[in-house]
Structure 1
Amino acid sequence: MISQVMFDMDGTLIDSERLFLKANAQAATELGVPRAPRDFLPLVGTAGADGLAKMTALVGAAKVPAFAERSVALVMQWVQAGVPIARPGAAALLQRLQTHGLRLVLVTSSDAAYTQTMLTAAGLRDYFAAIHTRDGAPEKPDPALYLRAVAAPGAAPAAATVAVEDTVIGVQAARAAGLRALQVVDLDAPAPGATARVKNLAEAGDWLCDLA
C-alpha cells in the first residue's frame, strides 16, 4: 500500500524537454552553430558537470553561457505566449490519484521561480500538498531532494511512497533515497534501477492505483 506519490516535473508532468530541444537549436543557430533539435537529445536527463560537458561539445565552451541563457529565455517566451506544456494526461492522472486519497508532492531539480511559472501555466499547481525545488539542495541524481521531501512535516514515510520520474538520473535519486521509482519512459533511456517502467501517464495511473 502507498499513501503518497512524489512527481518529477520536467519531462514527467511538463513537456518542457521538447521545448528545450527546440530552443537549444534556435539558440545555437543564433550563436552561429546551426544544429537540429535532435542534436541536443544528449542533454536530456543530464545535470551538473555532465550537462556542462555535453553543452560544451555541442556549442563550444565560449558560447555555453549565452546558449544556456538564450535557451531558457526562449522557453519562457513560448510558455508565456500560451504554448501548451502539460504532458498528455497529466491533469487527469493527478485528479485520479487524489480521488484515491493519495498525497501528491512535487520534487524537481528546477528552481522555485521556474517551477511556479511552469506549474501555473500548465494548470497543475493546486494538486500538490508540497513542492520541493533544487533551491538549497544538490540536483538529482543526488538523493538530497527526495530525502528532504520525505522528512518534511506531513510527509508519508519512504515505504509508503512512490516517485514518478522520466530520466535515469531521476530514478537513481529516488532509489538512493529508499523510494520505489516508476519511470515514464520518453526521451531518456530506460533506467535499469526503476521499480517499474510505463509508456505514458495513463499507464502510470493504473500502476499507482493498484498500489493505493
Structure 2
Amino acid sequence: MNFKAVIFDMDGVLIDSEPLHISVESNMLKELGVPLKQEMYTRFAGTTSLSMWKTIVEEFKLDKSPEELSAESNHRFINEFLNSDKVQLFDGVKDVLANLKKKAIPIALASSSSKEIVNAVLGKFELNQYLSAIITGSDVQHSKPHPEIFLTASQKLKIPSSFCVVVEDSPNGVKAAHLAGMCCIGFASDENHHDISHATWIIKSFREFDLEAFKAN
C-alpha cells in the first residue's frame, strides 16, 4: 500500500479530550432533565456536536434548539480547555507529526469538532505548522459515519482517497474512513473504550506509529 497522505481525527486521537467532552455534555443533559445512558457516548462518538444535539432534541422533545445547545456545549468546552490543563496531547503526537512533515508527507486534520474548538486546540498546542489541510465539523453537511469529511480532506490535499490513510478512535470514524475508500489506523489509547476492531490496523500508542510498516502490510 502506497500512502501519500495521513488524515488525523483530533478528539481522542491527537488530544485526550473525551473526558472533558463527556463532562460538559453530561452536565448539560442533567440540567435539561435528560436521563444519562452510557450507550449515548458510544452512539455519538465521532459525530458533530450539532448532529448529536439534533437527535437529543428530537428524541426528548426539548424546547431548546440544537444550534443553541451545540453553541453552549462548545462554549463550555473551550472555556474549560483554555483555563485548565485537563486536556493534553497524547504522548508521541508531535514526534509523529514532525516526522511526517520531515518526509514531506501531507497531513490533514479532519475533526467533527467545531471550527472554534479546533482553532483553540491548534493554537494552544501549536499544531498548525504541521497541517496542509484542516476540515472541521463546521465545514461539512454530514456527520461521521458519512465519509464527507474524509473525502473533503482528500480533495483539499489533492491526493486520491485510496492513497490516504486515516487515524481514528471511534466506530463512526472508522466506518467513515472505510466508506471514503481509505485504510484506517485505529488508535486504542488507554482512555478509549470504543470498539474499533474494524480498523485496518490498531495501535495503542503513537510510539507504535510506523507508516512504512503499515505500507508493507
Q: 1:25 to 1:137 in 2, by over 3 A?
A: closer
Aligned residue number for residue 138 of structure 1? 142
SS of the residue corresponding to residue 134 of structure 2 reads: strand
Aligned residue number for residue 175 of structure 1? 178
- Is residue 80 of structure 1 aligned with residue 85 of structure 2? no
Unmatched tracts of structure 2, length 5 or more: none
- Is residue 118 of structure 1 aligned with residue 121 of structure 2? yes
Greater shift in the superposed pair: 189-198 or 164-173 = 189-198
Q: 1:24 to 1:97 in 2, by over 3 A?
A: same
Shift of 1:39: 8.4
Q: Deviations over 1:96-122 (max 9, x none)?
A: 222333211111222323211221122
TM-score under structure 1 normalisation? Answer: 0.79
Shift of 1:126: 1.6
Judge conservation of contact 2:140–2:148 (CA < 8 Å) in 1: no
Judge conservation of contact 1:3–1:101 (CA < 8 Å) in 2: no
SS of the residue corresponding to residue 62 of structure 2 reads: helix
Shift of 1:149: 1.9
Distance in 2, Cα, partners of 1:62 & 1:41: 19
- Is residue 20 of structure 1 aligned with residue 21 of structure 2? yes
Judge conservation of contact 2:51–2:143 (CA < 8 Å) in 1: no
Shift of 1:18: 1.2
Shift of 1:145: 1.6
Equivalenced residue count is 207
Matches within 5 A, 1:24-63: 24-30=25-31, 41-42=41-42, 45=45, 47=47, 51-52=52-53, 55=56, 60-62=60-62
- Is residue 201 of structure 1 aligned with residue 202 of structure 2? no
Unmatched tracts of structure 1, length 5 or more: none
Letter in 1 for 2:5: Q
Distance in 2, Cα, partners of 1:28 & 1:162: 35
Distance in 1, Cα, partners of 2:195 & 2:30: 31
Matches within 5 A, 1:63-74: 68-74=70-76
Judge conservation of contact 2:184–2:199 (CA < 8 Å) in 1: yes
Letter in 2 for 1:7: F
Pick one of 141, 153, 176 that aligns with 1:149.
Answer: 153
CA RMSD of aligned residues (A): 3.2
SS of the residue corresponding to residue 163 of structure 1 reads: strand
Shift of 1:4: 0.8
Question: Which runs of 4 or more aligned residues in structure 1 lie more than 6 Å from their structure 2 counterparts after TM superposition?
Answer: 32-36
Distance in 2, Cα, partners of 1:56 & 1:175: 29
Q: 1:105 to 1:9 in 2, by over 3 A?
A: same
Letter in 1 for 2:118: T
Distance in 2, Cα, partners of 1:126 & 1:50: 30
Q: Deviations over 1:17-55 (max 9, x none)?
A: 11112223333455567979x786445515379845875
Letter in 2 for 1:73: H
Matches within 5 A, 1:78-117: 78-83=80-85, 84-117=87-120
Q: Matched residues, percent identical?
A: 26
